[in-house]
Amino acid sequence: MTKTKTITTDDILVMLCNSVRKVLTAATKTPISYSAMVQRITRTCLRPDIGCFVLFDGGFSGLVIMNFSASSAMELYRAYMISMGMPESELASRHTSEEVGNMLGELMNQIVGDFTGNVGHELQVCINQNQPKMLTINKEVMVSIDTNLDRPQARRVTFNTVSRNVFYMELAMDKTDFIKLHDFEREETDPDRIVEEQARQALAMNAESKSTPEAQSTTVSADQAFLDALGL
């Protein structure tokens, strides 16, 4: 009998953490890391200086919150805008600027979009997200999901920027176990993965063709013909 595989709430949390790291690393061109130790919390909050939250529902419901300090928000903002070609003289100087909030909201949308795509790819479950909401705040604001959760779970993960500025991600969702009954073919829908796979295949085919005697002979003949045309 085939042994079944179970995906737990914490496995889903790891998928979300990897989406945060992947999107922010790609956007800022700087390494983003997260702690291997995760906090079990009883409530989710927006915290100073900038808080952002997104609700998702479908196969399962949940809430994602990201809390940035002023220093971490500004570091991510500056790195992202500079990587996009924005001159430093035109960058916002305060974390309360509208541009900073808009940028973090855009990245939050990309993070949850990548996460929902991975959930569909790995778990064959469809979830939908709403638009991220950004708030610049100076005190904690408690946020909860407007639905009944049978066994609510909440986790808090610490992230670090390359300059060691800290920000946090909080996830609240039902305690969920996905049990894999049998193997299945995953339908690839992530355009980044598709492009990467096609590029790898093209490189492999190119390397293989260059290594064959026929290809090497053709290359030598072409080079000799070029030299003959130059009279060398």
Q: What's the CATH number where 37 sits?
A: 3.40.1550.10
Position 210 in a domain: yes
Same domain membership, residue 129 and residue 205: no
User: Is 90 exceeded by the pLDDT of residue 182?
Assistant: no
Position 35 in a domain: yes
Position 186 in a domain: no
Same domain membership, residue 107 and residue 207: no
Domain count, the chain: 2
Query: To 10 degrees, what angle do helices 191-211 and 213-229 make?
Result: 70
Position 34 in a domain: yes
Per residue in 11-34, pLDDT (tens digit) is 999 999 999 999 999 999 999 999
Per residue in 106-165, pLDDT (tens digit) is 999 999 999 999 998 888 889 988 889 889 988 888 887 655 667 788 999 999 999 999
Same domain membership, residue 141 and residue 201: no
Same domain membership, residue 175 and residue 201: no
Q: What is the bridge-based pairing of β-strands 33-34 and 50-58?
A: unpaired
| Sequence letter at residue 229 | A
CB 158 within 8 Å of CB 168: yes
CB 62 within 8 Å of CB 155: no
| Sequence letter at residue 210 | K
Helix (H) or strand (E) holding 15: helix 9-28
State which residues form the domain around 215.
Answer: 191-229
Same domain membership, residue 163 and residue 96: yes
Assign 115 to helix, strand or coil: helix
Q: Any idea which of 41-45, 67-71, 123-127, 192-196 has the lowest mean pLDDT?
A: 192-196
